[in-house]
Chains A and B, each alone.
Chain A
């Protein structure tokens, strides 16, 4: 051990009561916040690293895992404030639960479980072909999402608060139940323009799903160098990625397109409302992402809009 290394001392205080929770001495200057989190975890096993928020200021922003102790604006005795973020759940787990739930609930209605429509109604009418098609589309959509969550996506933030999962699931599962109820209802009315409407919307649905998948793969490839580097996504040889010429978040554009297609295919108002709510949420996300890109890159393509070419 070199005698020229100055060790840091780190005291960790509760952000509200300012009570000292822990005092670490002989901390390496190039230790990261992640290392400090692990050390803190040893003293308080119930606060695993994901639920620790460490700040330089009691009301300040949480420090990121990669930040290095000696690069922070602290003296050789650093004071950090700790806040418990509450139980956390990993993003992967969140998505798996949300998507599996939606998938499963829709199938409950499709299979016309007796407790859903009432026993006699089950015998009332056979299913129309479009209802079978809708089930295949809806289920494939969520199966695709599950596969992407497991194999494709890499998440920058590891976790989210456990309480959010109730809100998210209520929304996803609630809407899935609501729209599945009508599509699979014995009194369901097929689209007004018949087979033409169904075929047209099926084609656009498939194109949008393929597009959405292409974008996810492309974004995943960009991340290849490590989760923290951000690069501008560009169109590639894949025609579906050419939407990058016009929008920052074509994955959201394709997603909205897929749901609009599904709405046309089923001609069902609840599906339309779900699409609308999803569109509003994704527009907000796309705008944030777009603004982040514009802020971070001086040479960001100026033609691009957040989610809808030229418009939004």
Chain B
């Protein structure tokens, strides 16, 4: 799923009134701030490299077939590196919840390693380009937002982008991901990959095909929740609206 954390994640104190900020605000050590700044700059750069590589590929080849193969190493590197963000939450240098970050990063890792990396026949699907583009634009915006925040110098455009691009990018990314998983289903069923059948001494079985079906179904409750959460954050941050949260 496209990444859409609380604005406080991976960033310094932002101008927005974040829910967790006032409660969990600690004086972040100099080392932590320096590390986070480096991390966010590095990630911004990484996703920029990815974006440039994709644009260049398309300009040279005129098609998007084979684009995944050409950028896969960079994609895997930077997306996997994002696992660190969970660690940042655990040690508390970032005020976002561990579970929220965990779910988001895990879904990305799942798409990259368990779908596109493992199921080679679907790498040239159009839907792959769809979510790659969505992810790239989202991540560049997000990481540069955090970087500028940490440097206490946030241009309004970046804030605007962060809280408006997702309106289109998030659904686009979700559609790309779902279509890709759907395209992978026949191959998974045919090869029986990642599956464990009975009998075995652990007395458990696992069917990757059904697992994928359940994963796809889980987008239905999860996507609207995250989307509307981002919409609420947007109203709060950009329009200073005071949102009265529903009780319990």
Contacts and interface: CB of A to CB of B under 8 A. Distances in A.
Contacts of A189: 199-201, 203
Contact of A270 (B198, B199, B201, B204): B204
B201 A267 contact: yes
A182 B247 contact: no
Nearest to B200: A189
B247 A267 contact: no
A270 B199 CA distance: 14
A16 B203 contact: no
Interface in B7-58: none
Interface in A251-283: 266-270
Nearest to B199: A187
Interface string A174-192: 0000000011010111001
B72 interface: no
Contact of B202 (A185, A187, A269): A269
Contacts of A188: 199, 203
A268 B198 contact: no
Interface centre among B198, B199, B200, B203 (most CB of A within 10 A): B203
B164 interface: no
Interface residues of B, number: 9
B204 A182 contact: yes
B74 interface: no
A117 to B, nearest CB: 11
Contacts of A182: 198, 203-205
B204 A187 contact: no
Interface in A130-188: 182-183, 185, 187-188
A188 B247 CA distance: 48
B198 A187 contact: yes
Interface string A62-85: 000000000000000000000100
Contacts of B204: 182, 268-270
Interface in B58-77: none
A268 B200 CA distance: 10
B201 A185 contact: no
A269 B200 CA distance: 11
Interface in B105-145: none
B199 A268 contact: no
Contacts of A266: 203
Contacts of B247: 16, 83
Nearest to A59: B247
Contacts of B203: 182-183, 185, 188-189, 266-270
Contacts of A268: 202-204
A27 B172 CA distance: 63
Interface string B93-113: 000000000000000000000
A122 to B, nearest CB: 16
A183 B199 CA distance: 11
B156 to A, nearest CB: 35
B15 to A, nearest CB: 27
Contacts of A269: 202-204
B201 A192 contact: yes
B226 to A, nearest CB: 21
A16 B246 CA distance: 11
Interface in A231-256: none
Contacts of B199: 187-189
Nearest to A267: B203
A223 to B, nearest CB: 30
Contacts of A185: 198, 203
A74 B202 CA distance: 63
Contacts of A270: 203-204
A269 B201 CA distance: 9
B7 to A, nearest CB: 25
A185 B201 CA distance: 13
Interface in B170-201: 198-201
B236 to A, nearest CB: 20
Nearest to A192: B201
A176 to B, nearest CB: 15
Interface string A262-306: 000011111000000000000000000000000000000000000
Given A187-B198, A189-B200, A268-B204, 14 more contacts: A16-B247, A83-B247, A182-B203, A183-B203, A185-B198, A187-B199, A188-B199, A189-B199, A189-B201, A189-B203, A267-B201, A269-B202, A269-B204, A270-B204
Interface of A: 16, 83, 182-183, 185, 187-189, 192, 266-270
8 contacts: A182-B203, A182-B205, A183-B203, A185-B203, A188-B199, A192-B201, A269-B204, A270-B203
10 tightest A-B contacts by CB? A269-B204, A187-B199, A268-B203, A187-B198, A182-B203, A269-B202, A189-B199, A189-B201, A192-B201, A189-B203
